[in-house]
Structure 1
Amino acid sequence: MGELTFREQRRLRITRLADEFGLGTWPDEKADDWFAQYLTRYEAAWQTYHDVTPALAAEPRHLRLGVITNGDADQQRRKLQHVGLTGLLQQATISSEAGAAKPDARIFWMACSGLQLQPSQVVYVGDRLQTDAEAAIAAGLHGIWLDRRDTTSVTSVPRIRTLTELAPLLGPA
């Protein structure tokens, strides 16, 4: 009791936002329509960083490429398809299907299992230091932090600022 569905949460956020901006009280139907229009624009704007596709396409074919993502499986799969990555990936491990989300070690282990690799055989690159790189290391993988913002954070975790810097860290084939 007292819990809202995802749709009810979304409606509540939208109607509160409309009220805060002085747009009046919105009925559920108006909130749903606004969200549908927002979602269409949001999905149309999905894109990768400029270095993603070239870096993945340049990787030797003997590497098994996968992705771990927190979120709704349907949306994440549509996103991967929209940006053209599905053909480059052997595995997509998505939290809503996995029953665990980063930084939980179980999601990393599930991804390794899906690739038929032991965690010690896997390099995981992620853009969040704690949730991705450090969590991967804690799960037994080799974690690399993709620090696109070039922060001044001090860490012992290997760090790259662009995916073009990844190949030298992986070593020879």
Structure 2
Amino acid sequence: MIKAALFDLDGTLLDRDESVKQFIDEQYNRFAKLKNFVSKEKYVKRFIELDHRGYVWKDKVYQQIVYEFSLPEPSWEDLLTDYINEFKNSCVPFPHLIEMLENLKSKNYKLGIISNGFGQFQIDNIKALGIKEYFDMILISEWEGIKKPDPRIFKRALEHLQVSPYESIFVGDHPENDVKAAQDVGMKGIWKRDAHWEDVEADYIVNELSEIPFIIEKMNSACVT
């Protein structure tokens, strides 16, 4: 019987691709002097390439941008500070996020987030989405000292929620760090479909967050019968 639903953040609850596009467009506008050295189109395109969907931290990204476009100003430190302070204002949720969480909470499921990343930065983004209060537990890799796909972070989350792996699902967009890692500790791994991956092996595959409550009901009905 499923009692808990755990989620990845970026690419699962937060539409990071759209959030990045919105943020970097606005960052270019905030730093007016950028237009003297690089077009907005080139700046946005190069940031997205170097960011590698969030897997490259932004100090490296901005150092490379300053170097490639020979920017005398702003400095990479100024751009990085702007990213840390302002990204939360560009957070875009996936459709049906609040609706799904309301549904699950109304049925008394325990909810958690396991996210790789920097602690305060990710918490700021969760707050910006307006979802922090829905979750009974939030683990962020910087603060935990371990990150997905390390099984210890999944086990730690389950201990916090006081549920077994077999009573839990994990929903994420990354085939290895989310789906397989959760399955390896005994959880059901649900893949939120992402165009960057193909042929992902998961217990369930969803296109929309609104599908999650129905999948849990289906699993629990199967247990009863």
TM-score, normalised to structure 1, is 0.81
Distance 1:12 1:99, change over 3 A: closer
Select the residue among 190, 193, 212 that pairs with 1:166.
Answer: 212
Distance of 1:33 and 1:50 partners within structure 2: 33
1:69 has 2:119 as partner: no
Report the secondary structure of 1:101's partner residue: coil
> Where does the alignment leave 5 or more consecutive residues of structure 2 unmatched?
1-56
**Counterpart residue number, 1:52:** 97
1:114 has 2:157 as partner: no
**Counterpart residue number, 1:136:** 182
Deviates more, 1:103-112 or 1:158-167: 158-167
> Where does the alignment leave 5 or more consecutive residues of structure 1 unmatched?
1-8
Distance of 1:67 and 1:108 partners within structure 2: 10
Which structure has greater helix proportion? 2
Taking only the aligned residue pairs, the percentage that are identical comes to 24
Contact 2:84 2:121 in 1 (8 A): no
Within a 5 Å distance, the mapping from 1:1-173 to structure 2 comes to 13-24=61-72, 30-59=75-104, 60-149=106-195, 152-171=198-217, 172=220
Letter matched to residue 138 of structure 2: A
Letter matched to residue 69 of structure 1: S
Contact 1:125 1:146 in 2 (8 A): yes
Contact 1:119 1:139 in 2 (8 A): yes
Distance of 1:129 and 1:15 partners within structure 2: 30
TM-score, normalised to structure 2, is 0.64
Specify which structure has the bigger relative contact order, considering alpha-carbon pairs within 8 angstroms and separated by 6 or more residues. 2
RMSD: 2.4
